[in-house]
């Protein structure tokens, strides 16, 4: 049986803002097993970061309990802090500090002996490719280099559990890919449990073993990305017709939705179907029997955005695009 690295029950956080009570996290229950890589998805303001801040002892919960790495976040916050690594949304290195100095200071913060800290810092500098910039100040680093330093700072004490809050937000695609390659390799080598928040759906889909979807302070789905996509979204089948009349008849017959009210999109029918690759030829034959000819047909696997859309009626991708901060890798 897998040991639980995080268990939370009824975790709630409310804030007072301008005379009103805002419930940022509502009675959250969650578990994360040892060695898992779990992605916490949701739009800005969903409560992801507040949850993370409670689990990392940065914020006291209003109610509910959480045990992180074997320590209660309320009764033994120091125990939690000793066992976890945390990489927040911002840049963790002091801007006037040198990279190597910051790693040495971080080792001292965790009570690691001087010699061991130096050895560990050297390992991390090498594995995260920071050797070229080790003696430079943090303010002179690129966005990608700063993020790799953040990861190194979070790992100096070899934590059992690493929290990553939006680790790749704002990085350019190359820096993102590079950062994830490092995280995946480090995890492979150490078996560290990783709990991360992100609004990059492709990252969660590709890298996480389990995905939790959060909206309005509550977890609304929790499963593997594959299972979520299969059970909640289904495959996307798109059929295009010569005219809107055929499209309308096909939609009525197959239970699909017309792509739009007028213009070319009125000729398009979208259908959500489990096993869409098998359904597509069947649809074409069925419509041919009615004398309706399909002009074009496509089929695609669902994405986590489709899952979010199915659950909330909103697109996570659109919300993420609007909330994108400007940081260049």
Partner 1 sequence: MTTTTTRPTGFVRDTAAVFVRESKPLVRDPFSVMFSLVQPLVFLGLFGPLLIGAAGGDVAGTLQWFVPGILVMVALFGTASTGANLLFEMQTGSHERTLVAPLSRSALLVGRALKEVVPLVIQGTIVVVVAVPFGFAVDVAGLILGLAILAVFGIGFGALSYTLALSCRNRDWMFWMVHQTLLFPLMILSGMLLPLDDGPDWMKVAAAVNPLSYLVGAERALLAGDFADPAVIGGAIAAVVTCAIGVLVGVRAMRRAS
Determine, following the binding rule CB under 8 A, whether residue 158 of this chain makes contact with partner 1.
yes
Q: How far is the CB of 213 from partner 1 (least distance, A)?
A: 25
CA dihedral 33, 36, 42, 45 (to 10 degrees): 60
Query: Interface with partner 1 includes 82 (CB under 8 A)?
Result: yes
**Minimum separation from the CB atom of position 71 to partner 1 (A):** 11
Cα(238)–Cα(193) distance, rounded to whole angstroms?
40
Contacting residue, 42, 61, 64, 93, with partner 1 by CB under 8 A: 93
Q: Which of 48, 53, 229, 267 binds partner 1 (CB under 8 A)?
A: 53
Query: Using CB under 8 A as the criterion, what x/- string covers residues 59-78 for binding partner 1?
Result: x------------------x
Q: Tell which one of 42, 61, 64, 88 touches partner 1 (CB under 8 A).
A: 88
The answer to whether residue 44 forms part of the interface with partner 1 (CB under 8 A) is no
CB of 45 to partner 1, least distance (A): 17
User: Is 4 one of the binding residues for partner 1 (CB under 8 A)?
Assistant: no
Site size with partner 1, rule: CB under 8 A: 42
Pattern 96-135, partner 1, x by CB under 8 A: xxx--xx--xx-xxxxxx--x---x---------------
187 part of the interface to partner 1, by CB under 8 A:
no
Identified binder of partner 1 from the candidate list 81, 148, 229, 267, rule CB under 8 A:
81
Question: Which residues of the chain form contacts with partner 1 (CB under 8 A)?
Answer: 53, 56-59, 78, 81-82, 84, 86, 88-98, 101-102, 105-106, 108-113, 116, 120, 150, 153, 156-158, 160, 190-192
């Amino acid at each position: 049986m897998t040991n639980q690295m995080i268990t939370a029950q009824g975790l709630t956080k409310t804030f007072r803002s301008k005379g009103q009570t805002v419930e940022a996290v509502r009675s959250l229950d969650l578990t994360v097993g040892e060695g898992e890589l779990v992605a916490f998805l949701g739009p800005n303001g969903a409560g992801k970061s507040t949850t993370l801040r409670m689990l990392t002892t940065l914020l006291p919960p209003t109610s509910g309990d959480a045990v992180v790495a074997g320590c209660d976040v309320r009764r033994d916050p120091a125990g939690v802090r000793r066992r976890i690594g945390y990489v927040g949304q911002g840049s963790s290195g002091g801007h006037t500090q040198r990279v190597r100095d910051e790693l040495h200071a971080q080792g001292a913060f965790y009570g690691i002996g001087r010699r061991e800290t130096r050895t560990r810092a050297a390992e991390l500098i090498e594995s995260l490719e920071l050797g070229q910039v080790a003696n430079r100040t943090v303010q002179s680093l690129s966005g990608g280099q700063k993020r790799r330093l953040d990861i190194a700072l979070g790992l100096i004490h070899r934590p059992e559990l690493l929290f990553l809050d939006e680790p790749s937000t704002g990085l350019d695609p190359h820096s993102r890919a590079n950062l994830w390659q490092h995280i995946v390799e480090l995890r492979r080598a150490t078996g560290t449990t990783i709990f991360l928040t992100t609004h990059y759906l492709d990252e969660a889909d590709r890298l996480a073993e389990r995905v939790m979807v959060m909206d309005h302070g509550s977890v609304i789905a929790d499963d593997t990305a594959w299972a979520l996509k299969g059970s909640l979204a289904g495959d996307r089948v798109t059929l295009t017709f010569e005219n809107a009349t055929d499209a309308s008849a096909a939609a009525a017959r197959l239970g699909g939705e017309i792509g739009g009210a007028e213009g070319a999109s009125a000729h398009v029918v979208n259908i959500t179907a489990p096993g869409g690759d098998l359904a597509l030829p069947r649809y074409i034959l069925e419509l041919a029997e009615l004398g309706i000819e399909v002009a074009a047909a496509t089929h695609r696997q669902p994405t986590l955005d489709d899952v979010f859309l199915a659950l909330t009626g909103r697109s996570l991708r659109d919300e993420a695009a609007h909330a994108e901060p400007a940081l260049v890798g």
